[in-house]
Amino acid sequence: LPLPGADLSGVLSLRSLADARLIRDLSTQSDEVVILGGGFIGLEIAATLRAAGRTVTVVEAVDRLLGRAVAPIVASHVRQRLEATGVRILTGTSIARLDGENGHVTAAITSSGERLPARMLIVGVGAVPNLELAQAAGLSIANGIRVDHQMRTSMPEILAIGDAASYRHWFTGGDVRLESVQNATDQARLAARTISGHADAYSAVPWFWSDIGDIKLQMVGLTAGGDSHVVLGDLPDNKFSIYHYAGDRLLGIESVNRPGDHMLGRKMLGAGFSPTPQLVAEGPDGLKAALAAFQQDEPARAAG
């Protein structure tokens, strides 16, 4: 963390189980916590510590939470729910320095000069892939270690998977580097099949989840490039899903406390079924029936 005072005791990050245990232990002695970063990690920690009675402030450098990971309507909803619990959220704000006493952090000073008391500061900003070994080996690099659809790098005898691997995604046709448990485990299975000589091209539908306070946020598909959306459910009830489209093609679904929509979305995208926005607006029952009919017609489509 390139900040004056970053070497003070009480300045932590969450990268491992040991980090999580340290945060848990120190939080019992820290009434005031500042979290640097408004992404998934930072917000999950913020919700957990606030529920434990801590005074929590989240500082995010850009003007909204969760960056480009979710739609603005979802980011705004998450912010409202967290603020309703007492979490203070400062967007468009950066930390200029950290102050301390006797070697321990006592406050974070914002770029505007505001002093945020903190007995613990947690760095929850995004990580970047460590590419030193790949670069030393001469592998192709493009926002990560470049791999093909069987996880082979530019040197076919070397495979790469997970958060550090970038590739042309079959679903969008664009280059991606996904950071999720699902992506890493799916690619690990594919890499094992590649090594054993039984690999098909990578075709898993990406999905992700995050538990932030009373929000279970589940996402399936990749929504970049969407130009319209359909909302099912009610935001005030904290139960809704957003179906994202590019034209008439369903790109992905973001669900808040509607796990049924998420699971149905995984089935639809996995089957290659793209319901019209009008069909989505009719609700889950119509979608289930349409998916069943689509799957029943699969042999005829394959024969044709």
Reported as a single tens digit per residue, the pLDDT across 18-61 is 999 999 999 999 999 999 999 999 999 999 999 999 999 999 99
Q: What is the pLDDT of residue 239?
A: 98
Residue 278: band (very low, low, confident or very high) from pLDDT cuts 50, 70, 90: very high
Q: What is the pLDDT of residue 74?
A: 97
Segment 219-271, tens digit of pLDDT: 999 988 889 999 999 999 999 999 999 999 999 999 999 999 999 999 999 99
Determine, yes or no, domain membership for 202: no
State the CATH number of the domain containing residue 227: 3.30.390.30
C-alpha–C-alpha distance, residues 119 and 104, integer Å: 8
Which amino acid does the sequence have at 260? G
C-alpha–C-alpha distance, residues 294 and 58, integer Å: 46
Q: What is the pLDDT of residue 302?
A: 66
Determine, yes or no, domain membership for 73: yes
Which of 57-61, 172-176, 273-277 comes out lowest in average pLDDT?
A: 172-176
Kindly state whether residues 57 and 99 are assigned to the same domain: yes
Q: Is the per-residue pLDDT at 303 higher than 70? A: no
Q: Which of 103, 123, 143 is the last residue of a domain?
A: 123
Segment 90-131, tens digit of pLDDT: 999 999 999 999 999 999 999 999 999 999 999 988 678 899
In angstroms, how far is CA 158 from the centroid of its own chain?
27
Residue 204: band (very low, low, confident or very high) from pLDDT cuts 50, 70, 90: confident
Kindly state whether residues 190 and 222 are assigned to the same domain: no
Kindly state whether residues 213 and 271 are assigned to the same domain: yes
Kindly state whether residues 19 and 119 are assigned to the same domain: yes
Determine, yes or no, domain membership for 299: no
DSSP conformation class of 214: T
Q: What is the pLDDT of residue 202?
A: 81
Mean pLDDT for 128-150 is 94
Mean model confidence pLDDT for the chain: 93
Kindly state whether residues 245 and 266 are assigned to the same domain: yes
Q: Which domain holds residue 283?
A: 207-290
Give Cβ neighbours of residue 293 (< 8 Å, ≥ 6 apart): none
Determine, yes or no, domain membership for 222: yes
Residue with tokens 């659809």: 149
Determine, yes or no, domain membership for 27: yes
State the CATH number of the domain containing residue 46: 3.50.50.60
Kindly state whether residues 117 and 16 are assigned to the same domain: yes
Q: Which of 64, 91, 123 is the last residue of a domain?
A: 123
Kindly state whether residues 218 and 163 are assigned to the same domain: no
In the chain, which ranges are E strands?
A: 11-13, 32-36, 55-59, 88-90, 95-101, 104-110, 115-117, 120-123, 145-146, 165-168, 175-176, 207-212, 215-221, 228-234, 239-246, 249-256
Residue with tokens 């594919």: 190
How many C-beta atoms lie closer than 10 Å to residue 268's C-beta? Answer: 25
Determine, yes or no, domain membership for 48: yes
Kindly state whether residues 138 and 235 are assigned to the same domain: no
Kindly state whether residues 62 and 166 are assigned to the same domain: no
C-alpha–C-alpha distance, residues 59 and 82, integer Å: 13
Residue 200: band (very low, low, confident or very high) from pLDDT cuts 50, 70, 90: confident
Determine, yes or no, domain membership for 303: no
Kindly state whether residues 167 and 145 are assigned to the same domain: yes
| Dihedral sign for Cα atoms in the order 71, 76, 79, 81 | negative
Kindly state whether residues 99 and 136 are assigned to the same domain: no
Kindly state whether residues 18 and 69 are assigned to the same domain: yes
Count of the separate structural domains present in the chain: 3
C-alpha–C-alpha distance, residues 252 and 263, integer Å: 12
Residue 130: exposure state from Cβ atoms within 10 A (0-12, 13-18, ≥19)? exposed
Q: What is the pLDDT of residue 304?
A: 62
